[in-house]
């Protein structure tokens, strides 16, 4: 979305606000210079929406019409976006909610009044709203793919947790014998031997062949499992609990298998779209990004370089930057709650992964932990730094080069007013001693070497 100032916005023929619903929407309209408002209802069907949109194009000779609604993505905003004469202003639900509370302290609420509230926001506070300016189709498609992949991953996690809960009731030993509950070997094992007494009746050779056929090739691990299987004792013997739990586990395993295959298909589609994207080389260059995080980093920034005027806007938008609150002599800094959760999650998870392959990121994280910071606080501080680097690469269109980055940090470490050579105590050339990067405290975060990437 892009911000439109009163000087740059078109001369709107009318202002319309829509209080959307599942089946029927309520709208209110005001023409500039008129004190009267029109209102009506709009059925949510493609045919009704098209007639409604064409109505305004005909009435105002194709001149632009400003439309406000509490949606940035969804069925209605997608349906209206194809009409060029409709300029859409998404309004966050919490904004209209707080404004409604100010206008109607009693808490009264109905659809026509909600439409009126949105229209007041559009007419009187348009300078604080942003026009919906969709990114390229390629970027939006990639964004939808990575978000839906995450949804399926969360669903898979939910079902594996349910499997864990059921197994703890009647067959907890399985949780020790297998590392991943979404692995095909576990589903095959429980389909063949759903209860402890079933697997204990199988011969050692049969079990060995099973594990080998399902790519469990460690001889020691197989033998360890065989010993544990023979020594295991049932957690319960109550068929009233065991039999329903077995049915639930087998059902959940089928769902997990479907989700696993669906995730693989999404991975393939994401890989195709990401490799064809113009910004592929930028985000693919970052350490630990990989086939999952690199596309997510790309869509977090998008393709519109004018979307963010400065890196501080990215930090605030993503929720990684803390919120500073001050009242009188009281001042405190706290976690930011209102932000796109998937974007914040993307930067947080990437920062955590970067510790595994990036030495300076690992050192940065370790120094924060040594100062008493918790794991997530240290990762957020690292994400704060990574965003500055990502933003610079994104704006310049250049891939990340750690050598260039570290050299820039060393230059910034150099004193601005160096002492004469005979007074300096630099390490002798070629000594091989590493330069120690100092930590500087800035607000609630610590940055390495006073660098702003």
Q: What is the mean pLDDT of residues 216-223?
A: 92
Domain with CATH 1.10.287.4070 in the chain: 141-273
pLDDT of res. 415 = 63
Quickly state the pLDDT bin for 5 (edges 50, 70, 90): low
pLDDT tens-digit map of 196-208: 999 999 999 999 9
In angstroms, how far is the first alpha carbon of the chain from the final one? 25
Mean pLDDT of the chain: 88
pLDDT tens-digit map of 48-87: 999 999 999 999 999 999 999 998 788 999 999 999 999 9
User: Which residue from 320, 143, 170, 316 is spatially nearest to 242, judged by alpha carbons?
Assistant: 170
- Percent of the chain beyond pLDDT 70? 89
pLDDT tens-digit map of 277-296: 999 999 999 999 999 999 99
pLDDT tens-digit map of 341-395: 999 999 999 999 999 999 999 999 999 999 999 999 999 999 999 999 999 999 9
pLDDT of res. 260 = 95
Q: What is the mean pLDDT of residues 100-121?
A: 85
pLDDT of res. 416 = 57
Quickly state the pLDDT bin for 93 (edges 50, 70, 90): confident
CB atoms within 10 A of CB 136: 13
* 312 or 436: which leads in pLDDT: 312
Q: What is the mean pLDDT of residues 410-420?
A: 64
141-273 CATH pick, 1.20.1090.10, 1.10.3470.10, 1.10.287.4070, 3.40.50.1370: 1.10.287.4070
2-134 CATH pick, 1.25.40.10, 3.40.50.300, 2.60.15.10, 3.30.420.10: 3.30.420.10
Global pTM exceeds 0.85: no
Q: Do residues 185 and 215 lie in contact, with contact meaning Cβ atoms separated by under 8 Å? A: yes
Q: What is the mean pLDDT of residues 265-269?
A: 97
pLDDT of res. 2 = 54
pLDDT of res. 7 = 54
Q: Is the pLDDT of residue 106 over 60?
A: yes
| Beta bridge partners of residue 396, listed in sequence order | none
pLDDT tens-digit map of 165-187: 999 999 999 999 998 888 999 99
Domain with CATH 3.30.420.10 in the chain: 2-134
């Amino acid at each position: 979305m892009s911000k439109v100032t009163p000087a740059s916005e078109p001369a709107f023929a009318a202002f319309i606000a829509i209080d959307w619903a599942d089946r029927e929407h309520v709208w209110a309209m005001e023409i500039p210079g008129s004190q009267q408002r029109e209102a009506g209802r709009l059925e949510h069907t493609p045919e009704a929406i098209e007639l409604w949109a064409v109505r305004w194009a005909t009435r105002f000779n194709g001149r632009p019409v400003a439309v406000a609604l509490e949606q940035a993505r969804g069925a209605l905003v997608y349906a209206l976006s194809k009409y060029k004469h409709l300029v859409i202003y998404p309004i966050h639900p919490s904004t209209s909610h707080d404004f409604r509370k100010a206008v109607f302290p009693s808490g009264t609420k109905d659809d026509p009044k909600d439409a009126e509230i949105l229209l007041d926001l559009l007419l009187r506070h348009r300078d604080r709203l942003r026009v919906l300016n969709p990114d390229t189709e390629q970027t939006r498609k990639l964004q939808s793919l990575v978000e839906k992949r995450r949804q399926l991953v969360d669903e898979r996690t939910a079902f594996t947790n349910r499997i864990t809960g059921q197994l703890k009731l009647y067959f907890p030993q399985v949780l020790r014998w297998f590392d991943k509950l979404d692995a095909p070997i576990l589903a095959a094992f429980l389909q063949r031997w759903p209860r402890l007494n079933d697997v204990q009746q199988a011969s050692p050779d049969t079990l060995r062949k099973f594990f080998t056929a399902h790519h469990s090739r460690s001889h020691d691990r197989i033998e360890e499992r065989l010993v544990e299987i023979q020594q295991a004792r049932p957690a319960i013997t109550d068929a009233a609990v065991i039999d329903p739990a077995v049915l639930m586990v087998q059902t959940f395993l089928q769902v997990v298998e479907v989700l696993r295959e669906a995730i693989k298909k999404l991975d393939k589609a994401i890989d195709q779209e990401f490799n064809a994207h113009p910004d592929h080389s930028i985000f693919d260059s970052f350490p630990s990004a990989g086939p999952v995080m690199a596309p997510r980093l790309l869509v977090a920034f998008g393709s519109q370089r004018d979307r963010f005027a400065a890196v501080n806007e990215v930090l605030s938008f993503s929720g990684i930057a803390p919120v500073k609150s001050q009242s009188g002599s009281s001042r405190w800094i706290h976690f930011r709650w209102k932000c796109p959760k998937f974007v914040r999650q993307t930067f947080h998870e990437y920062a955590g992964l970067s510790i595994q392959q990036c030495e300076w990121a690992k050192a940065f994280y370790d120094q924060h932990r040594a100062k008493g910071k918790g794991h997530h606080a240290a990762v957020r501080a690292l994400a704060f730094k990574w965003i500055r680097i990502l933003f610079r690469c994104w704006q310049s269109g250049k891939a990340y080069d750690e050598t260039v980055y570290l050299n820039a940090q060393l230059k910034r470490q150099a004193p601005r007013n160096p002492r004469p050579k005979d007074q300096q105590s630099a390490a002798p050339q070629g000594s091989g001693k590493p330069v120690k990067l100092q930590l500087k405290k800035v607000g609630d975060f610590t940055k390495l070497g006073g660098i702003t990437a």
